[in-house]
Structure 1
Amino acid sequence: MTALAGGAYVLGIPPFTKVGTIEESSVCASLGPSAHAVEALRSILPEQGSYRFDDETIPRRSKQDDAFAAYCFVDGDESQLLSVRALFQPDAPPDMWEEDVALGDPSHSLTRFDAGIRAVASHSMAAIFVPCEPRGVLPGGQHNLSVLVHLKQTGETSTGQRRAGLITLARSAAASAHERADCTMPFDVGGQK
């Protein structure tokens, strides 16, 4: 045992552990521009020895196709840290959409922010209801995207910082989904350009 290791043992200092890094090249494409995503991810995720990103997209094959979905899962050393999903769905009243989203928020502390048709966030999730296709393009009327970012394990940040990071990720993922789903209706992402 070296003197340094022996001194750490005597003082009760735990061994140093390797902290993984979140690299732009690893981040899910469905999260939008890597630089935005990396900064937000670093601000909300707990330190881990490594991070793994799993990205899956089910593209629309044509304008008459209503089967778009995008998923991103971020795993740490032993468990899932974050999930992001964007689903194409028929229009619904914004209040009904918000009620559905609220069912997945264990903190019961969703508050609205500016983006899309409706957007809500707490310190553990953020969601945006995004306009996509107007009435008359697909059977069933207008279709929208429902984008949800769910933080499953938190880092050492305040609840306000986590909420801000989740909103940044939701806006970026929503803009990416809007583009990748070939949506024709305009979409205001709110605080991000």
Structure 2
Amino acid sequence: MKTTRPKILLMAGLALALALAAGIAFSFDLPPFKRSGLIRAEDVCPSLGAGSATVSALDEVLPDKSSYSFREDTRDPRTDELDDSYQTSCFVRGDNEQLLFAGTEMLEYDRAGSWMEEAVAQFESAAALKPFAVGDNGVASSRVAAIYLPCTSHGANRHLSVIVRLKKHGNAADSALRNGLITLATNAASYAHAEARCDLPLNMKN
């Protein structure tokens, strides 16, 4: 049976349309050609802590993007034991969209509960924040992880307040997001404890 000319033209037209659609999908990173960006340890903010655990946690919590960028901002390094301030920030972006923020600051509260109510609950409801064992206080949800860690013996209650906020998340379950954020906050707290010249022992568990 012969294939008529109109059928040949129709099949050729369909093939051309499919090729054009595939080309557009590839050019704009649309499925099934979406490219996943690579998070490299050397690009990650130093304040998030080094090591494969940090990279794995970022891979877990962040959405799939074709590229990622990290910007460190150390506004107030602690220069000596008499300095009573320390502040650093890390901004994580993917495809020009802010995905995650991590900030550490030296603060002083009479109670760890007051720290959570004033410094953390502005980013997440108190009901969603569940405790985990670290420092004087650690709370986390699928969107925020925060740690209140003793730092200096000078002054009443000089602590490091570490807060990691996930602004855009991937497809992981809430429990996996929470665990990933806890890893990032814990690593950031360990880094800050050394960089801020803390003289109290590093207590990562109660």
Residues 140-174 of structure 1, C-alpha deviations (whole Å, 9 max, x = no match): x2300100000000001000000000000000000
Could you tell me the percent identity over the aligned residues? 38
**Cα 1:154–1:8 shift into 2, 3 Å:** farther
Per mean C-alpha deviation after superposition, the further-off stretch among 15-24 and 182-191 is 182-191
Q: Is it true that 1:41 corresponds to 2:58 in the alignment?
A: yes
More helix by share: 2
How many angstroms does 1:5 deviate by? 7.8
State the distance in 2 between where 1:8 and 1:186 align.
Answer: 62
Unmatched tracts of structure 1, length 5 or more: none
Q: Is it true that 1:143 corresponds to 2:161 in the alignment?
A: no
Residues 30 and 71 in structure 1, CA contact (< 8 A), matched pair in contact too: yes
Q: Is it true that 1:169 corresponds to 2:187 in the alignment?
A: no
State the distance in 2 between where 1:4 and 1:31 align.
Answer: 49
State the distance in 1 between where 2:126 and 2:135 align.
Answer: 23
**Cα 1:64–1:35 shift into 2, 3 Å:** same
Residues 107 and 124 in structure 1, CA contact (< 8 A), matched pair in contact too: no
**Cα 1:149–1:3 shift into 2, 3 Å:** same
Letter in 2 for 1:163: R
Residues 112-137 of structure 1, C-alpha deviations (whole Å, 9 max, x = no match): 00101000000000000010012xx2
1:54 alignment partner, one of 59, 62, 71: 71
- Structure number with bigger Rg: 2
How many angstroms does 1:15 deviate by? 5.3
The match for 1:182 is 197
The match for 1:79 is 97
**Cα 1:188–1:2 shift into 2, 3 Å:** farther
State the distance in 1 between where 2:204 and 2:59 align.
Answer: 21
How many angstroms does 1:7 deviate by? 6.4
Unmatched tracts of structure 2, length 5 or more: 1-12
Residues 149 and 160 in structure 2, CA contact (< 8 A), matched pair in contact too: yes
State the distance in 2 between where 1:71 and 1:85 align.
Answer: 4
Q: CA RMSD in A?
A: 2.5
Q: Is it true that 1:95 corresponds to 2:140 in the alignment?
A: no
**Cα 1:94–1:18 shift into 2, 3 Å:** same
The TM-score, its normalising length taken from structure 2, stands at: 0.82
Letter in 2 for 1:175: S
How many angstroms does 1:106 deviate by? 5.4
The match for 2:37 is 20
Q: Secondary structure of the residue that 1:174 maps to in structure 2?
A: helix
**Number of equivalent positions:** 186
Q: Is it true that 1:121 corresponds to 2:136 in the alignment?
A: no
The TM-score, its normalising length taken from structure 1, stands at: 0.87
Residues 27 and 34 in structure 1, CA contact (< 8 A), matched pair in contact too: no
Q: Is it true that 1:6 corresponds to 2:25 in the alignment?
A: no
